[in-house]
Chains A and B, each alone.
Chain A
Amino acid sequence: MKAFSFPVLLFVFFAAGCAHSPDPIASLAPPAAPPQVQRVLVVSDSVQIPPTPPEIPVTSETKNVDDYGDIEVPEKVSEEAQGEIADPLEPFNRAMYHFNDKLYFWVLKPVAQGYEKVVPEAARVSVSNFFTNLAFPIRFVNCLLQANFKGAAAELGRFTVNTLWGVGGFLDPASSEDINLSKQDEDFGQTLGAYGLGHGFFIVWPLLGPSSPRDTVGLVGDAFLTPSTYFSPWYAGAGTRVYDRVNDTSLKIGDYESLKEAAIDPYVAIRDAYVQYRLKKVNRKGGNTPAEDSELPRK
């Protein structure tokens, strides 16, 4: 029962939280009166005035022209489509960001660096492949939920090939040039996004990092499809996830540091990167490229 109470509480919290999300359309509404265009004719004796050409109406593919039909009005673009997100919890989020930042530099990074020293890169990549293969149910089910049947078939093929010929998933022959089945990086948050649910506001969770109410609900959904959730005792599953994170971090040391160094305000940079990354994932269908997977440094 305890295992279920946390996700339920989270859901209730975010269901309530979504109501505070500002209406992105209303906040970006154009002014009530369209701007007036002043026409000035300069008359000069020495210059013969050519006959006034017939007024050419503005052609617009979007059909969004003003009342006079000569100025195209920009289409109302939602905050989400622009890659922006409301941040009503900024003080809390900044505090959590600093907590995660310290956790990364004081705990996760030193542990990952020690691990990196003793475990060769090939072995760490194999471990990463194994955990990626283990997360197959998340990608497969979410492809189905998004009616991406081609993607679901590709995922099923990847899982079969990598489990049988990839030594239980430690190798990734499915991504080879010969077989070329690309990973469908789908999760429940993206599925909710594909159904038209906005991500809501920005929130930074301790340990988990940047998220949104939609993606937090997605995380809960994904947890049900993660095999390690069902490991018994519970700390075996938790230990597995921590190991996965340490291994993953050991392969990405420096990514977060680069982003942080390049940014004037790292919190804002990570927030923007997160929103755009998730937006891109929601909007695109089909397989990932390897570069896509490493776009957002994860803490």
Chain B
Amino acid sequence: MKSLKVIVIIVFVILIAPGRAAAGGPFGPPQPIAKEAGGLHTGIGYWFHEDKYKNGTEQVTRQNQVYSELSYGSRNGWEITARVGMSDLKLIDAFSSSTSSTATSKEDFEEHGNFFSTLGVKGFYPFNKTFGMGAFIQGTYYFSDFTDAVSGTRNGVPFSVELGVKNLWDVNFGTGFQVTVPYGIKMYIGPYVHYSELKVSSSADVAGVAFASGETTMKNKTGLGGFTGIEVPLAKGFRLNLEGQYTERLSVGAAVIYVY
């Protein structure tokens, strides 16, 4: 009963928390996905991710990530996860003009396919066969820069601006509460803290276009969020993990995992 009360409190905290930020990739269930004595799991997944950064101006980012992950851990203990994948990046309305004298060829900054890597560690404490609680920390780093260019006219004079996004990284830590229902289905929910930053550099200063020339460091707008998910056993050792992270915007994803 005590554990149930804790879960209710946490759900309440999540629902009233002024979450604004989204994180890079799913956290997974608090309980490590491994055989009893310990072992590997691998997985492939897709993650749709939105976040909002600020530094003077606010910028919404959108990403589609595909990744492969490898984890090692024991079922009622700890787990370490490494993930590599590719992701695009879209800065919504980054090139749109706020003045009528400036016209641009497109509105969004967009680049396809940069590699990223994620490393995570989690620990799990089972209250009993049904309920359990865990904590995790997970960080993501993008190995290369995103770049895109826009052309347009300012008072009839043509211009071209190149925008670069570099050093995009994030770190997340939080706790999760898990309930295991019949057929081995795990449902989980929890709060987390998120920190992310990136550097935006513009090659020219064009009035009406959001980013000024030079380099600007932007950080995620709000650092508290909540996540929930479900993990369902499939056939032949495979498992399906669905997760959502709700903040100002919703990030969702799915992964198919194989347990060795």
Question: Which of A164, A168, A171, A173 has the most B CB atoms < 10 Å from its CB?
Answer: A173
Q: Do residues B68 and A171 form an inter-chain contact, with CB atoms below 8 A?
A: no
Write the nearest CB–CB distance from B81 to chain A, whole angstroms: 13
Q: Do residues B260 and A176 form an inter-chain contact, with CB atoms below 8 A?
A: yes
Docked Cα-Cα span, A208 to B68, in Å, equals 37
Contacts A165-B44, A167-B42 hold; do A178 and B236 have CB atoms under 8 A apart?
Answer: yes
Instruction: Say which residue of B42, B43, B238 sits within 8 Å of A171 (CB atoms).
Output: B42
Q: Do residues A167 and B260 form an inter-chain contact, with CB atoms below 8 A?
A: no
Interface string of B58-80 (1 = CB under 8 A from A): 00000000001010000000000
Docked Cα-Cα span, A181 to B48, in Å, equals 32
Docked Cα-Cα span, A148 to B258, in Å, equals 28
What residues of A have a CB within 8 angstroms of the CB of B70 in the complex?
A: 167
Asked if B237 is at the interface (CB within 8 A of a chain A CB), the reply is yes
Asked if A179 is at the interface (CB within 8 A of a chain B CB), the reply is yes
If over half of A's interface residues share one DSSP class (helix, strand or loop), that class is named, otherwise mixed; here it is: loop
Write the nearest CB–CB distance from A292 to chain B, whole angstroms: 24
What residues of B have a CB within 8 angstroms of the CB of A173 in the complex?
A: 42, 237, 258, 260
Size range of the chain A interface in the assembly: 10 to 19
Question: Which of A165, A166, A171 has the most B CB atoms < 10 Å from its CB?
Answer: A165
Q: Do residues A165 and B236 form an inter-chain contact, with CB atoms below 8 A?
A: no
What residues of B have a CB within 8 angstroms of the CB of A166 in the complex?
A: 42
Write the nearest CB–CB distance from A69 to chain B, whole angstroms: 58
Q: Using a CB-CB cutoff of 8 Å, which residues 119-148 of chain A contact chain B?
A: none
What residues of B have a CB within 8 angstroms of the CB of A161 in the complex?
A: 258
Write the nearest CB–CB distance from A153 to chain B, whole angstroms: 16
Docked Cα-Cα span, A179 to B236, in Å, equals 6
Looking across the interface, which residue of chain A has its beta carbon closest to that of B237? A178
Instruction: Say which residue of A164, A171, A178, A179 sits within 8 Å of B44 (CB atoms).
Output: A164
Docked Cα-Cα span, A167 to B43, in Å, equals 8
Write the nearest CB–CB distance from B34 to chain A, whole angstroms: 14
Write the nearest CB–CB distance from B41 to chain A, whole angstroms: 9
What residues of B have a CB within 8 angstroms of the CB of A178 in the complex?
A: 236-237
What residues of B have a CB within 8 angstroms of the CB of A168 in the complex?
A: 68
Write the nearest CB–CB distance from A92 to chain B, whole angstroms: 49
Q: Using a CB-CB cutoff of 8 Å, which residues 17-72 of chain B contact chain A?
A: 40, 42-44, 68, 70
What residues of A have a CB within 8 angstroms of the CB of B43 in the complex?
A: 165
What residues of B have a CB within 8 angstroms of the CB of A167 in the complex?
A: 42, 68, 70
What residues of A have a CB within 8 angstroms of the CB of B236 in the complex?
A: 178-179
Write the nearest CB–CB distance from B153 to chain A, whole angstroms: 44
What residues of A have a CB within 8 angstroms of the CB of B257 in the complex?
A: 165
Contacts A165-B43, A165-B44 hold; do A171 and B260 have CB atoms under 8 A apart?
Answer: yes
Q: Do residues A179 and B42 form an inter-chain contact, with CB atoms below 8 A?
A: no
What residues of B have a CB within 8 angstroms of the CB of A164 in the complex?
A: 44, 68
Q: Using a CB-CB cutoff of 8 Å, which residues 94-119 of chain B contact chain A?
A: none
Write the nearest CB–CB distance from B236 to chain A, whole angstroms: 4
What residues of A have a CB within 8 angstroms of the CB of B258 in the complex?
A: 161, 165, 173
Looking across the interface, which residue of chain A has its beta carbon closest to that of B235? A178
Instruction: Say which residue of B44, B68, B237 sits within 8 Å of A176 (CB atoms).
Output: B237
What residues of B have a CB within 8 angstroms of the CB of A165 in the complex?
A: 42-44, 238, 256-258
Looking across the interface, which residue of chain B has its beta carbon closest to that of A173? B258
Interface string of A165-189 (1 = CB under 8 A from B): 1111001010010110000000000
Q: Do residues B68 and A179 form an inter-chain contact, with CB atoms below 8 A?
A: no
Docked Cα-Cα span, A166 to B43, in Å, equals 9
Write the nearest CB–CB distance from B74 to chain A, whole angstroms: 18
Write the nearest CB–CB distance from B129 to chain A, whole angstroms: 24
Looking across the interface, which residue of chain B has its beta carbon closest to that of A171? B42
Write the nearest CB–CB distance from B76 to chain A, whole angstroms: 22
What residues of B have a CB within 8 angstroms of the CB of A176 in the complex?
A: 237, 260
What residues of B have a CB within 8 angstroms of the CB of A171 in the complex?
A: 40, 42, 260
Looking across the interface, which residue of chain B has its beta carbon closest to that of A165? B258
Query: Could you pull out 10 A-B pairs where Cβ atoms are within 8 angstroms?
Result: A164-B44, A165-B256, A166-B42, A167-B70, A171-B40, A171-B42, A171-B260, A176-B237, A176-B260, A178-B237
A166-B42, A173-B260 known, 14 other contacts, Cβ within 8 Å: A164-B44, A164-B68, A165-B42, A165-B43, A165-B256, A167-B68, A167-B70, A168-B68, A171-B42, A173-B42, A173-B237, A173-B258, A176-B260, A178-B237
Which residues of A are at the interface with B, using a C-beta cutoff of 8 A?
A: 161, 164-168, 171, 173, 176, 178-179
Sorted nearest first, the 10 A-B pairs with minimum C-beta distance are A178-B237, A165-B258, A178-B236, A165-B42, A164-B44, A179-B236, A173-B258, A167-B70, A167-B42, A167-B68
